[in-house]
Every structure is written in C-alpha cells, then in structure tokens.
C-alpha cells in the first residue's frame, strides 16, 4: 500500500489554508510532502510570505531534512535509541484501563524531540528551501491517516 495524499484549500484575504491528509503505511516512517505543500502554495496565489506546515497530532511530527533513504533510516534508529518502544512509560499504563488505547509513550516522546511544525519562506510564489531540503511528515505511531495544515500568509502578486 502506498502513501496517499489529498488536499483542499480555503482562501481569505492574504491567508490561504490548505488541509492535507496523508495515509501512512508503517509504524515509523518519514513521508516526503514537499511537492504537495508546494502545490498548496501555488494554489494560494501568495507571491511573498511564509508557509506554516503543522501536524494536528501528538504522535506525528513535521521536519525539514534531506530525504536520502540512508539518512531516513538513521533518523528512525536515533529516535529508537533515545526513546525505545519497549521501555516502561507511565503513559502506557492508560492502555491497561482504557479500551483501544495504544501503548505509545515512545511516540509521544519522539514527537517532543521533533516538533509539530515548520515554517518556510515563500518567494515568487514558491517555497524557498535549500538544495537538499525536503518537508517530511514523521509518522511515529502508525499506520494512520494524518491531517496536516498548510497555512500560507503574505501578499499576492
């Protein structure tokens, strides 16, 4: 099963908000959403401003990094070393008393390390990223559908 993206966009006086749904396929994975964010920026009509990319979840993060496969595996390994899935977390006690509550304390701690959002400059109607920079959704407790907000603010041409 491949990762699926869908978007919708709402415009209002110098602010354009896009809603991106990403269906992740693994418990931990980094999904490149750069092209979809770039598409939302293009639809916004904003020529100069900023794009805020925000995850609405406490177990999915947004990061900017190179998307080289070896580096992505290194990032997954780093997170596992810092907060191993099989460690004893207080949060996991909820799973013993609340039906369908996952034991995902590790994923919340991974999110704490990575963060919920990134902000990228928009110049001439395009994301102004570095040569190797990509916007990645970090799935930390999947697979699940994830909602990402892309809010572009600025001036139109």
For the cut 80, the answer to whether the pLDDT of residue 8 exceeds it is no
* Token reading at 12: 């209002």
pLDDT at residue 146, rounded to an integer: 97
Q: What is the torsional sign of CA 101, 106, 109, 110?
A: negative
Q: How many independent structural domains does the chain possess?
A: 1
133 belongs to a structural domain: yes
Q: What is the DSSP letter of 40?
A: H
**Whole-model pTM?**
0.91
Range of the domain at 151: 4-86+102-156
State the burial class of residue 15 (Cβ atoms within 10 Å of its Cβ: 0-12, 13-18, 19+).
Answer: middle
How does pLDDT run across 112-143, given as a tens digit for each residue?
999 999 999 999 999 999 999 999 999 999 99
94 belongs to a structural domain: no
19 close to 123: Cβ distance less than 8 angstroms: no
How does pLDDT run across 86-100, given as a tens digit for each residue?
999 999 999 888 988
How does pLDDT run across 38-88, given as a tens digit for each residue?
999 999 999 999 999 999 999 999 999 999 999 999 999 999 999 999 999
CATH, residue 133: 2.60.120.460
91 belongs to a structural domain: no
59 close to 138: Cβ distance less than 8 angstroms: no
106 belongs to a structural domain: yes
How does pLDDT run across 11-40, given as a tens digit for each residue?
777 899 999 999 999 999 999 999 999 999
| C-alpha to C-alpha distance for 82 and 45, rounded to whole angstroms | 42
Supply φ then ψ for residue 113, to 5 degrees. -75, -35
* Token reading at 73: 């595996």
pLDDT at residue 4, rounded to an integer: 56
């Amino acid at each position: 099963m491949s990762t699926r993206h869908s978007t919708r966009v709402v415009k209002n006086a110098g602010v354009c908000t896009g809603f991106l749904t990403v269906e992740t396929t693994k418990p931990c994975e980094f999904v490149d959403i750069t092209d979809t964010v770039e598409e939302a920026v293009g639809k916004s009509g904003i020529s100069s401003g900023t794009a805020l990319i925000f995850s609405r979840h406490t177990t999915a993060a947004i990061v900017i990094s190179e998307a080289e496969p070896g580096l992505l595996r290194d990032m997954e390994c780093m997170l596992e070393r810092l907060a191993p899935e099989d460690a004893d977390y207080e949060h996991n006690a909820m799973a013993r008393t609340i039906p369908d509550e996952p034991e995902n304390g590790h994923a919340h701690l991974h999110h704490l390390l990575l963060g919920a959002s990134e902000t990228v400059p928009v110049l001439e109607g395009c994301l102004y990223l570095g040569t190797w920079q990509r916007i990645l959704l970090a799935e930390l407790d999947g697979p699940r559908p994830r909602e990402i907000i892309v809010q572009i603010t600025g001036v139109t041409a």
